[in-house]
Amino acid sequence: GAVVSQHPSWVICKSGTSVKIECRSLDFQATTMFWYRQFPKQSLMLMATSNEGSKATYEQGVEKDKFLINHASLTLSTLTVTSAHPEDSSFYICSANEREQFFGPGTRLTVL
Amino acid sequence: GQQLNQSPQSMFIQEGEDVSMNCTSSSIFNTWLWYKQDPGEGPVLLIALYKAGELTSNGRLTAQFGITRKDSFLNISASIPSDVGIYFCAGRNYGGSQGNLIFGKGTKLSVKP
């Protein structure tokens, strides 16, 4: 149980385009999901907490207009990186709460 | 802010050896979690600890919630090549929401066959 999927697993895009990443809880419902960013050889950095049916809560220093989060159902949260730039290239990982946080497999974003 | 000190940063061991890593916190936690991350993948939850002094096993893995509530360790017995990866500790303090996990910087484990 407690399986979380992400799509896509990797994406390459041109600078200035927007990219949407989906996070799904496959075998449970999650009112709360989390989005993390991870740079190479570093730990996970929490970006925002996604709450079903309400606005996401962003961590300090994370631009809410840059990283749009939508949690429209109990099994799906999306992260849209708007007007992506090379510095947004990173590994994005979501997690969902089933007593504890269970993580998705991650999405590798490369912005050219 | 709160910090988790995880050590060692990296370990190079021979297959069959036992491994020990630990995390210490500057403040009290009510939950300690241990995750393993393989390259290019998301972290996988290994063990969750909820009570001071609790000792929990998951196969060859054993983790303990320190009595002081400020530390936890993870032991891996008889290591095998598939144990290779990065191990993260994570803690949650009293009053924190489910999202307020604080992560250690990870311990990179390499196992020599």
Of A6, A49, A105, which is closest to B99 when you measure between CB atoms? Answer: A49
Asked if A103 reaches chain B (Cβ–Cβ under 8 Å), the answer is yes
CB contact under 8 A, B43 and A105: no
Identity at B18, one-letter amino acid code? D
Q: Cβ separation of A46 and B42 shorter than 8 Å?
A: no
- In the Cβ-directed half-sphere of A108, how many Cα atoms lie within 13 Å? 6
Count of CB pairs separated by less than 8 Å, A with B: 47
Given a cut of 70, is residue A102 above it in pLDDT? yes
Distance from CA of B38 to the nearest CA of A (A): 10
First CA to last CA distance, chain B: 40
Structure tokens at A67: 């990283």
At residue B95, the pLDDT reads 59
Q: Indicate yes or no: CB of B88 within 8 angstroms of CB of A43.
A: yes
Picking from A6, A32, A43, the nearest residue to B103 by CB comes out as A43
Chain B positions in Cβ-Cβ contact with residue A49 (cut-off 8 Å): 97, 99
> CB A29: neighbour CB atoms within 10 A?
12
Provide the pLDDT for residue A53: 86
From first to last of its 113 residues, what are the pLDDT tens digits of chain B?
567 899 999 999 999 999 999 999 988 999 999 999 999 999 999 999 999 999 999 999 999 999 999 999 999 999 999 999 999 999 987 655 555 789 999 999 999 98
Report the half-sphere exposure of A100 (CA within 13 A, side-chain side): 21
- Write the pLDDT tens digit of every residue in A25-79: 999 999 899 999 999 989 999 999 998 888 999 999 999 999 999 998 999 999 9
Q: Which residue has the tokens 């061991």?
A: B13
A46 at interface of B, judged by CB pairs closer than 8 A: yes
Say if CB A58 and CB A50 are below 8 A apart: no
What one-letter code names the amino acid at B110? S
**Are B45 and A101 an interchain contact pair (Cβ–Cβ within 8 Å)?**
yes
DSSP A71: E
> Are B81 and B12 a contacting pair, CB within 8 Å?
no
Q: Is A67 helix (H, G, I), strand (E, B) or coil?
A: strand
Residue found by looking up tokens 């606005």 in the block: A55
Looking at every residue in chain A, the average pLDDT score rounds to 94
Binary contact (B88, A44; C-beta < 8 A): yes
From the list B35, B42, B103, the residue facing A105 with the nearest CB is: B42
If pLDDT is split at 50, 70 and 90, which confidence band does A13 have? very high
Residues of A in contact with B97 (CB under 8 A): 49
Half-sphere exposure for A30 (CA within 13 Å, toward CB): 32
Q: Which of residues 60-79 of A touch B (CB under 8 A)?
A: none
DSSP A81: E
Helices (H) and strands (E) in chain A, counts: 0, 11
**In A1-112, where do the E strands start and end?**
4-7, 10-13, 19-25, 32-38, 44-51, 57-58, 67-73, 76-81, 90-98, 100-103, 107-111
